Amino acid sequence: MSETPDYAGYTRKGAGLTLDEIIHSDLDMLNMTQISRVMRIHPARLNYYAKTGQLMFPVQRSGNRYKVARLVFLKAMGVETKELR
């Protein structure tokens, strides 16, 4: 895993979404790039963790990409999802 970059060296830091943006989003599924900003982990490393089952929430594989349900992700981040759709 030494070839997987760290978030600190990620040049597209603005590519991910903030927690507020995810909460108020109408998206059903989120990809690893979108959640990387909240988790402060490089998207490539998140993909590796998803592939090896090391994330704290279930992911869904779509081709060679991994996605997570928005409400499942928010629950894993400690956000109350009762008032969300």
**pLDDT exceeds 70 at position 10:** no
Calculate mean pLDDT across residues 6-33: 82
Specify the 3-state DSSP secondary structure of 33: helix
pLDDT for 7 beyond 70:
no
Provide the whole-model pTM: 0.81
Burial of 76: CB neighbours in 10 Å, binned 0-12, 13-18, 19+: middle
**Per-residue pLDDT tens over the stretch 33-59:** 999 999 989 899 999 999 999 999 999
Predicted confidence at residue 72, as pLDDT, reads: 95
Classify 7-76 by CATH class.
mainly alpha
List the chain domain ranges. Answer: 7-76
